[in-house]
Chain A
Amino acid sequence: MELSKVMKLDDAALAARAKSGDRAAFSELVARHEDVVYRVCYRVLGSREDAEDAAQEAFVRAYRKLDSFEGRSSFKTWMVRLSMNVSLNERSKRKGTLPEAPMPAPAPDPERELLSSEAAARVHGALQKIQPNYRAAITLRDLEGLSYKEIGESLDIAEGTARVWAHRGRTKLREVLSQ
């Protein structure tokens, strides 16, 4: 199929074409979602190199499992779910190793921090110190802006559980950032 035609299709149509072996359709899905997949992996793993490996693996798994994509959730939510699974598994394998994310000295003035990347580094460093399920919920809610329903679908948990994880994660994150 011509590239210009592929680019006009929505995600569900592209996924249907990819299922039947159209690799151009799958490449378009990768192009549309590579940034969100990479970001999710980076925020869970705290390292750009590990994030690239995990993001590649998530897309390869997606290609292998296309038959299981039924379109009940959006393709993006399905990809976020695969990315989270790959990243959290990788994270548990490396349990005990220190995160790469830098932890600069605490800066008391948040407005000044907004002008630099210190805020992001500080948040990423703090996120590495809280439980993986809480980190996942905060990443999806407060960094990616997903609804609790979408978080539930992404993490394969009930919407209420997504709320509880985000709430507990925020409490822990506040404690870590206030230390």
Chain B
Amino acid sequence: MSEMGVEELLAAYATGELEGEEIERVEAALETSPRLRSELEQYETMFVLLAAAAEEEVKAPKGFRGRVARRVAITAYLGAATNVLDDLLGVYGRAILYYLRLT
């Protein structure tokens, strides 16, 4: 990481992920480069947007849990059926389930 150019450290600098010598390198370069300062501003804007997006309430839809529970129940029953058929009919039982597209 320390060998990366200053430009490549800007995003990490904007989020506070850098330490010690890397911070000093970035800050020294920023003092003399308007282009780097402009890029840093763009990163800061981006992280404001990302922080806002992270705050956006995205929750699983209503009834999601129930729909998962139904699919899990079907999976469990099919798994049990596979085991029973496997015990009873061996490879033929599995072939029947495969043919019926149940596994």
- Verify B59–A38 contact, CB threshold 8 A: yes
Chain A interface, number of residues (Cβ within 8 angstroms): 44
Docked CA distance A64–B103 (Å) = 12
Docked CA distance A63–B72 (Å) = 7
A27-B65, A30-B68, A59-B68 given; A174·B46 CB < 8 A? yes
B46 is contacted by which of A55, A145, A170 (Cβ under 8 Å)?
A170
A48-B61, A110-B48 given; A120·B43 CB < 8 A? no
Say how far B88's CB is from chain A's closest CB, in angstroms: 21
A31-B65, A174-B42 given; A64·B75 CB < 8 A? yes
**Residues of chain B whose beta carbon lies under 8 Å from any beta carbon of chain A:** 1, 8, 11-12, 15, 39, 42-43, 45-50, 52-54, 56, 58-61, 64-65, 67-69, 71-73, 75-76, 79
**Residues of chain A whose beta carbon lies under 8 Å from any beta carbon of chain B:** 21, 23, 26-27, 30-31, 34-35, 37-39, 42-43, 48, 52, 55-56, 59-60, 63-64, 110-111, 113-114, 117, 119-120, 122-124, 138, 142-145, 163, 167, 170-171, 173-174, 177-178
